Chains A and B, each alone.
Chain A
Amino acid sequence: MGSITLKNVSKVFGAHAVIPSIDLDITDGEFVVFVGPSGCGKSTLLRLIAGLEDVSDGEIIIDGRNATELPPARRGLSMVFQSYALYPHMSVRSNIAFPLKMAGEDKAAIDKKVEDAARVLNLTDYLDRKPRQLSGGQRQRVAIGRAIVRQPEAFLFDEPLSNLDAALRVNMRLEISQLHQQLKTTMIYVTHDQVEAMTMADKIVVLNRGRIEQVGSPLELYRRPDNLFVAGFIGSPKMNFISGAQAANHQAHTIGIRPEHLVLSKDHGTWQGTVGVAEHLGSDTFLHVNADGIGTLTARVSGDFAVTHGDRVFLTPDPQRLHRFDEKGMAIR
């Protein structure tokens, strides 16, 4: 089935090592998200698994079989591209049928599978349209349909939602998660959006400059980030970092505290500061506080807390939720 193992995989473009060396195990049925800032090598890694790029070194093992030298078509994987990559000259039906036609299946079997996929994805009414006559969300579904008909070992998603507007993105996020629960097939999903990673993944792989910073479940990464990078990347709004004397008090080079783990008070607390900007979201309020001798801290407080620009406030970190890092940026535990 769809287990994928990367052993010592590296990719070098010219003199530039995009991926120095990566080891990773993905078990069958897992929903794995590669997340990281742009240029971190997450898409390259996906393309290496897909076989659209050659590895410079190392092995890729899919379903117990060494697939390193196999062409993309023979790896048993399906891919959904950022641009959807639908064939513009073919109808939706032909688009979805294409991989089956390439596999040489007979016409009746193809028709049945296409109809089934279309039903699952709510595309039945659109089968005879051309991709350009569809909305962004529908195109996305066609791309997914094309991926699921051949029942691959694993699905690869390359930032599939980045071309959709915000509302649709939330919808499609849900649909893809539901699809995963239905199919129980391995999925590898690449995104730069940590919200997508947190909401969808069984396992998140945080990448930075071609290296794996940390692998873990969403809550593991949130609660126990291994280093400054992961601490800063996962969570929104971002974790506050404080170095200098305040950090030294906690025997650390840098301390980190998430905005939601700061307790706000009008009359007492550890740090004092002035409210700069208050962003009212209704349920919550994000406060940007200029803390005396520390710098700007972001705090997330209940929307009921009445506070405005210029108010003096006190902030107290929850000691249980304080993260400590050494001078190399690694977590001290």
Chain B
Amino acid sequence: MATLHTRSAARLMIAPSVLLLLAWMIVPLALTIYFSLLRYNLLMPGMEEFAGLSNYTYFLTDPAFFQAIFNTLAIVLGVLFITVAGGIGLALLLDQQMFGQGIVRILVIAPFLIMPTVAALVWKNMFMNPVNGLFAWLAKLLGLQPFDFLANAPLLSIILIVAWQWLPFATLILLTALQSLDEEQKEAAQMDGAGAWSRFIYLVLPHLSRAITVVILIQTIFLLSVFAEILVTTNGGPGTQSTNLTFLVYAQALLQFDVGGASAGGIIAVILANIVAFFLMRMIGKTLEA
């Protein structure tokens, strides 16, 4: 739909974005690959030497690495499960007629707008703290022993905090999708004798599939890199019980100053993310209209 003139102008206007993103994608990544092949510790400047793949063997044989992979996947899958299931339920509920729907919506959306460090600290101190937390008080009220969430079930606690932050996102998107479902379709199904359950299975769920795909896709991108919540609650501990891949690389780099090792870890994280992204992009390619 365009002439040569507009097309060349267009190329000129796309150039800055493309060049910036290209640089952003290539330069640091190339450096990471380079560093990952060096023995390089910030505490020993000037001692850099070529180390071959030893950083990778070190990282891949570290038991903490497997724990981190497991934790990363546990966080992604755990949060996805809670938010998608909970999001569908909440969306169905909020789609009903009620008094004060607008306010309910606002209340439900709120956690998504909270910065991760605030969310994590509030949960850590004011709810999950075994002495002063509200959960401890509730437990005592019920005659139970207060439970030290972050010490005894650190991973689950983090999953819960992150799920609280992302549940609104899933709900909001699914609710929007739900509201675009044609009322006449539902009425037609009712005329055809479909009960509430079969309407949900055969009408509502297929209609939501696109939105569910989008929720899974976008959340996965962010959940693979959960960081702040771990940093301010458990610091990856106890031990490495709540360390995910992102946090492991961070610790290697900025706590142990091992540039080479951390870079190897970073590359492994990139490869993993690419494997996940490969499948996700195939999904999104069908879902997004470009």
Contact = CB atoms under 8 A, between A and B. Distances in A.
10 contacts: A51-B3, A52-B1, A52-B3, A53-B1, A53-B2, A53-B3, A54-B3, A54-B4, A71-B3, A71-B5
Interface string A162-186: 0000000000000000000000000
A52 B5 CA distance: 10
Interface string B1-21: 111110000000000000000
A81 to B, nearest CB: 13
A51 B2 CA distance: 9
Interface string A67-79: 0000100000000
Interface in A46-93: 51-54, 71
A18 to B, nearest CB: 13
Contacts of B2: 53
A19 to B, nearest CB: 16
Interface of A: 51-54, 71
A145 B211 CA distance: 45
A43 to B, nearest CB: 11
B148 to A, nearest CB: 60
A71 B9 CA distance: 13
Contacts of A51: 3
SS class, residues of chain B in contact with chain A: loop
Nearest to B4: A54
A241 B286 CA distance: 47
Contacts of B5: 71
Nearest to B3: A54
A51 B5 CA distance: 11
B27 to A, nearest CB: 36
Given A51-B3, A71-B3, 8 more contacts: A52-B1, A52-B3, A53-B1, A53-B2, A53-B3, A54-B3, A54-B4, A71-B5
Contacts of B3: 51-54, 71
B9 to A, nearest CB: 11
A53 B1 CA distance: 7
A201 B222 CA distance: 62
Q: Which 4 A-B pairs have the closest CB atoms?
A: A54-B3, A54-B4, A71-B5, A53-B3
Nearest to A51: B3
A27 to B, nearest CB: 27
A48 B3 CA distance: 10
A319 B3 CA distance: 52
Interface in B1-53: 1-5
B1 to A, nearest CB: 7
A68 to B, nearest CB: 11
Interface string B63-75: 0000000000000
A52 B1 CA distance: 7
Contacts of A53: 1-3
Contacts of B4: 54
A124 B2 CA distance: 35
B93 to A, nearest CB: 37
Nearest to A53: B3
Contacts of A71: 3, 5
A195 to B, nearest CB: 29
A80 B4 CA distance: 23
A273 B30 CA distance: 84
A232 B2 CA distance: 34
Contacts of B1: 52-53
Question: B2, B3, B4: which has the most chain A beta carbons within 10 Å?
Answer: B3
A53 B3 CA distance: 5
B200 to A, nearest CB: 39
Nearest to A52: B3
A53 B4 CA distance: 8
Nearest to A71: B5
B134 to A, nearest CB: 52
A277 to B, nearest CB: 33
A302 B1 CA distance: 49
A51 B4 CA distance: 11
A9 to B, nearest CB: 15
A66 to B, nearest CB: 16
A52 B4 CA distance: 10
Nearest to B5: A71
A52 B2 CA distance: 6
B105 to A, nearest CB: 29
